């Protein structure tokens, strides 16, 4: 074979995952029985990783359905890292567009919460904001300060489905409520004392976190939260987020 190492690796991976037509010069290699065994082993490892990273989806759809869908995804989007706990970044989007999942329109959003759990779990450590830090600021400095979400925090608002209720019940292996809110709901996930925890999040809370992540100061972030959810108890929801260790130390925006 006259392949450069980089091209050979690229074509070899394409052959393993069945992406397009195999390079003709690899035919002797890919036609060997041992290659097929290797291919099956690699594909199984990818599917196993997706199953480990998306346990709620497995519980919702069953092992057989999940593994069939995961195999299609794995062939389309092979792992890019040897650290398979990170694998599956695009799986939620895949499920949202996957024809056989059309009767489960919430599946993609539920998968996003599984993904967020993993991201919270593996995120870098940061010291959380304590309420006393805000209390020590004067009124002007407080309103002009910005709260930066910690690396180990994720949130999501689902406007059309009870994704959080479905995810929570299945993640905790509990029972779903008889009545679900199909008008939209949100979730806040964070890591506290080394453990990923979760709670429901309102539209205003999610809007506030979006604004904080964009670098808005406290006054602007609060305004956006109240605009999204009129009548929001700002002090209460801010306290809830501080207890969830959602923020790192405050800083003064430069703009």
- Minimal CA–CA distance to 72: which of 90, 85, 59, 60? 90
pLDDT band at residue 2 using 50, 70 and 90 as cut-offs = very low
pLDDT beyond 90 at 26:
no
- pTM over cut 0.85: no
pLDDT value at 148 more than 90: yes
Q: Is the pLDDT of residue 1 over 60?
A: no
Higher pLDDT among residues 38 and 136, named by residue: 136
Please write the tens of the pLDDT for every residue from 189-230. 999 999 999 999 999 999 999 999 999 999 999 999 999 999
Over range 63-89, report the average pLDDT: 91
Mean pLDDT, rounded, for 9-15? 56
Residue 9 has pLDDT above 50, yes or no: yes
Q: What's the mean pLDDT when you consider all of the chain?
A: 85
pLDDT of residue 11: 57
């Amino acid at each position: 074979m006259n392949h450069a190492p980089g091209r050979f690796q690229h074509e070899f991976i394409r052959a393993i995952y069945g992406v397009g037509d195999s390079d003709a010069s690899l035919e002797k290699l890919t036609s060997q029985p041992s290659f097929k065994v290797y291919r099956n082993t690699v594909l199984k490892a990818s599917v196993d990783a997706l199953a480990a990273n998306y346990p709620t989806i497995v519980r919702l759809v069953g092992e057989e359905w999940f593994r069939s869908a995961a195999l299609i995804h794995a062939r389309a989007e092979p792992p890019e890292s040897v650290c398979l706990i990170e694998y599956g970044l695009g799986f939620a989007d895949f499920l949202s567009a996957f024809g056989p999942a059309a009767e489960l329109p919430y599946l993609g959003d539920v998968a996003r919460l599984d993904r967020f759990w993993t991201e919270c779990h593996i995120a870098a450590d940061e010291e959380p904001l304590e309420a006393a830090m805000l209390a020590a600021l004067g009124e002007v400095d407080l309103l002009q300060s910005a709260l930066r979400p910690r690396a180990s925090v994720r949130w999501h608002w689902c406007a059309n489905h009870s994704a959080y209720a479905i995810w929570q019940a299945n993640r905790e292996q509990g029972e779903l409520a008889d009545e679900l809110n199909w008008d939209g709901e949100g979730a806040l996930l964070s890591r506290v004392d080394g453990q990923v925890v979760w709670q429901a999040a309102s539209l205003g809370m999610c809007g506030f976190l979006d604004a904080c992540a964009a670098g808005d100061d406290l006054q602007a972030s609060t305004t956006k939260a109240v605009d999204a959810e009129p009548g929001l108890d700002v002090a209460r929801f801010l306290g809830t987020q501080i207890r969830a260790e959602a923020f790192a130390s405050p800083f003064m925006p430069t703009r």
